[in-house]
Amino acid sequence: MTVVRMGYVAMSVHLQNCSPSQTMTHARFKKLFDRDAAIRKLERIARSNVTNCLRLLKHNIAHDIAFFRLSSKLIPLANHMDLKGWNYIKSIKKELNDIESFLAKYKMRIDFHPDHFVLLNSKKVDILNQSIITLKMHRNLLTGMGIHPKHRCVLHVGGAYDDRDKALEQFIYNWGFVPVDLQEMIMLENDDKSFTMNDTLYLCEKLAIPIVFDYHHHLAHNDNHNWQEHWDRVVSTWDNSPLPIKMHISSPRSSDDFRAHADYIDAKMFLKFLREINGSVSIIDCMIEAKKKDDALFRLMKQLKHEDDVEIIDGASFKIH
């Protein structure tokens, strides 16, 4: 038997006027001639975003959802070189404290998936340095919410740069330049074009990083490797984590557009995976990456309750027997 807990990404399709990703472009910022006024506007946007995060967390608790990915766009331009020295955490301290108080009462697994421009295997020093700045921002947000940062940020390996093996070794080399307090935040995910499950496991085992297995990505890009043969290795990368093993689940939009995420989850595809790993772990957290966000989770739960080997626990979790 395995307990499955499901979560979703960043925003709800059911809550109105609750975006956590309102933004201001750098071009717009530069057009505001009063810099102090421009920064105050950024701070108002950030406060609104974080306030909306709390609304989302309350919505989640109301529906038994104990796993959630926060938007990485909570604070517009926080990692931009033109805003160096801006104490963005101070400007949202109250809102972060409100989330901390809420999470102290209602337990929920929270994490981030920094955007694709965070590249730890880049040969360009400026890109690596900017990636580190962005990771620091994520750590500041986590600690500001009272969340222990360990294993809270999912990253892709990065770019293949026309030589996948060299790109993997570049990641290992660059890892030495990443501060230890940021290293502990990181989980690595196999992707659908460059780095397979096996490639990612190579890094995870060498550097003691948990792997977030993305089943859809594996089906799209696997070099003919059978994931089942390496599942025990995936599980072992989580041995030193305080958190349960985590995976990503999504479904292809179509056979012609296989890599793109569908609006909802193919329940049969998901169950096929779960039945194969059943009993190998006591609990697994599954992040739904679907266009319809929480509605995809709600629909999937309705479909699963009709399966003979599924025992529903609550609105977002179940046991597979």
Number of domains in the chain: 1
- Rounded distance between C-alpha atoms, residue 138 and residue 88, angstroms: 12
pLDDT number for residue 189: 98
Residue type, 115: D
Portion of the chain with pLDDT greater than 70, in percent: 100
- The CATH number of whichever domain residue 239 belongs to comes to 3.20.20.150
| 28 confidence band (pLDDT: 50, 70, 90) | confident
| 85 confidence band (pLDDT: 50, 70, 90) | confident
CA–CA distances in Å: residue 307 to residues 271, 275, 311, 318: 9, 12, 8, 11
Question: Is the model's pLDDT at 209 over the cut of 90?
Answer: yes
Its domain, for residue 152, covers 2-320
pLDDT number for residue 224: 86
Question: Is the model's pLDDT at 29 over the cut of 90?
Answer: no
pLDDT number for residue 259: 92
DSSP category for residue 118: -
pLDDT number for residue 86: 87
- The mean predicted confidence, pLDDT, of the chain is 95
For 128-143, what is the mean pLDDT? 96
Prediction pTM value: 0.95
Task: For 132-154, give the DSSP string.
Answer: HHHHHHHHHHHHHTT---TT-EE
DSSP category for residue 81: G
Residue type, 14: H
316: CB partners within 8 A, 6+ apart: 5, 6, 7, 63, 64, 65, 66, 67, 297, 301
| pLDDT tens-digit map of 298-321 | 999 999 999 999 999 999 999 999
- Which helix (H) or strand (E) segment holds residue 175: the answer is helix 164-175
pLDDT number for residue 38: 86
pLDDT number for residue 31: 75
Question: Is the model's pLDDT at 78 over the cut of 80?
Answer: yes
Question: Is the model's pLDDT at 87 over the cut of 80?
Answer: yes
pLDDT number for residue 222: 94
Question: Is the model's pLDDT at 33 over the cut of 80?
Answer: no
| 257 confidence band (pLDDT: 50, 70, 90) | very high
pLDDT number for residue 321: 96
Task: For 209-231, give the DSSP string.
Answer: --EEEEHHHHHHS-TT--GGGGH
Which segment of 30-44, 102-116, 139-153, 226-240 scores lowest on mean pLDDT? 30-44
